[in-house]
């Protein structure tokens, strides 16, 4: 689709490939697309916001390696993916461009970026090429802002390096939450107004993604409880049908009625949560 819209060659990114002017490299499924000096890296590092490839990992590695030479752009999308990565771009002196939320099909990602990052331009898509050309022609600053230790550690984590063992204490304090993917304790990372979470394995979450995952866990728990109650009710009906003694039939009938009431309560709680 992209190749049909540009005269530039468009290829799948490959591990170790040099960065070539005029070539468009696209992330491949289930692998992070990262920068490592002047080459591309394709890794299977921990997921961020339950995705791989992840936009935050890409932007962060670009900011870490190229500082003010990076232009990061956030387009339409749901939740808050890309905000942490765009913050890293700005933190290293790069340029942040955000699609106008009013134009975006899904405005959540642009709105989140604008809440936490001082964008250099907020534009409709058709105005972005001229802005990119203008920013690209600007003279780079003489002194470069150094990357933070957190940015370096997180970039190494995305590379699938064992950076947490030696650097986890530098990331931030332990939070009260657990990782939805591995049940490990989450570390809280705070960068000005931006708060994120990362576990000891390396899984990373924005607040909105973590909230969504916890909500999914609650829904799943209700479904599992309801299924177990209904299975038990079916067994009780079989027991009642097979029972010969009147007192046993009565006992099973009472238990069935209790289960049916309990199932009704669970459904009500599930619908209201």
Tokens (6 digits) for 198: 């990362």
Q: Could you say which DSSP state residue 48 is in?
A: B
In order of 16, 72, 76, 117, the CA distances from 111 in angstroms are 35, 15, 9, 10
Mark whether 112 and 16 lie in a shared domain: yes
pTM for this structure? Answer: 0.86
Check the CA dihedral 104-107-112-118 and report its sign: positive
Whether the per-residue pLDDT at 175 is higher than 90: the answer is yes
7 CB burial (10 A radius; 0-12, 13-18, 19+): exposed
Q: Does 201 fall in a domain?
A: no
Question: Are residue 113 and residue 16 in the same domain, yes or no?
Answer: yes
* pLDDT exceeds cutoff 60 at 166: no
Q: What is the pLDDT of residue 98?
A: 98
* SS3 label, residue 50: coil
pLDDT at 56 over 90: yes
Q: Tell me the residue range of the domain where 96 lies.
A: 3-136
Length, in residues, of the chain: 273
The mean pLDDT value for 164-187 works out to 83
> Is residue 105 exposed (0-12), middle (13-18) or buried (19+ Cβ within 10 Å)?
exposed
* Confidence category of residue 169, pLDDT binned at 50, 70, 90: low
Least confident of 62-71, 85-94, 105-114, 167-176: 167-176
Q: CA 268 to CA 238: how far, in whole Å? A: 26
Structure-token pair, residue 18? 């040099």
Write the CATH number for 58. 3.40.50.180
Of 136, 154, 182, the position where a domain reaches its end is 136
What is the reported pLDDT for 201? 87
pLDDT reported for residue 161: 81
Q: Is the pLDDT reported for residue 52 higher than 90?
A: yes
Residues 129 and 219 in one domain: no
Residues 9 and 118 in one domain: yes
Share of the chain above pLDDT 90, in %: 87
Identify how many contiguous H helices and E strands the chain contains and give both numbers. 8, 11
Residue 164 in this model has a pLDDT that exceeds 80: no
Distance CA 242, CA 184 (A): 47
Between CA 92 and CA 229 the distance in angstroms is: 55
Task: Put the strands of the sheet holding 71-74 in their side by side order.
Answer: 71-74, 95-99, 121-123
């Amino acid at each position: 689709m992209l190749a049909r819209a540009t005269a530039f060659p468009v290829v799948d990114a490959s591990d170790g490939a040099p960065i070539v002017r005029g070539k468009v490299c696209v992330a491949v499924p289930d692998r992070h697309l990262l920068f490592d000096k002047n080459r591309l890296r394709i890794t299977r590092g921990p997921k961020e916001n339950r995705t791989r490839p992840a936009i935050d990992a890409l932007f962060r590695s670009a900011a870490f390696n190229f500082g003010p030479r990076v232009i990061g752009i956030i387009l339409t999308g749901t939740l808050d993916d890309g905000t942490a990565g765009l913050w890293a771009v700005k933190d290293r002196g790069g340029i942040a461009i955000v699609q106008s939320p009013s134009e975006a099909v899904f405005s959540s990602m642009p709105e989140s970026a604008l809440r936490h990052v001082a964008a250099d331009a907020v534009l409709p898509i058709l105005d972005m090429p001229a802005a990119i050309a203008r920013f690209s022609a600007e003279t780079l600053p003489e002194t470069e802002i150094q990357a933070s230790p957190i940015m370096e550690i997180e970039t190494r984590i995305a590379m699938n390096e064992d950076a947490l063992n030696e650097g986890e204490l530098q990331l931030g304090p332990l939070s009260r939450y657990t990782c939805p993917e591995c049940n490990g304790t989450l570390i809280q990372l705070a960068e000005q107004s931006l708060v994120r979470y990362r576990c000891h394995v390396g899984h990373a979450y924005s607040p909105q993604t973590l909230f969504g995952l916890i909500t999914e866990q609650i829904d799943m728990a209700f479904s599992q409880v309801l299924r177990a109650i209904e299975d038990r009710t079916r067994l009780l009906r079989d027991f009642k049908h097979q029972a010969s003694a009147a007192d046993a039939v009565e006992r099973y009938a009472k238990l069935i009625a209790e289960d049916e009431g309990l199932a009704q309560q669970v459904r009500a709680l599930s619908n209201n949560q």
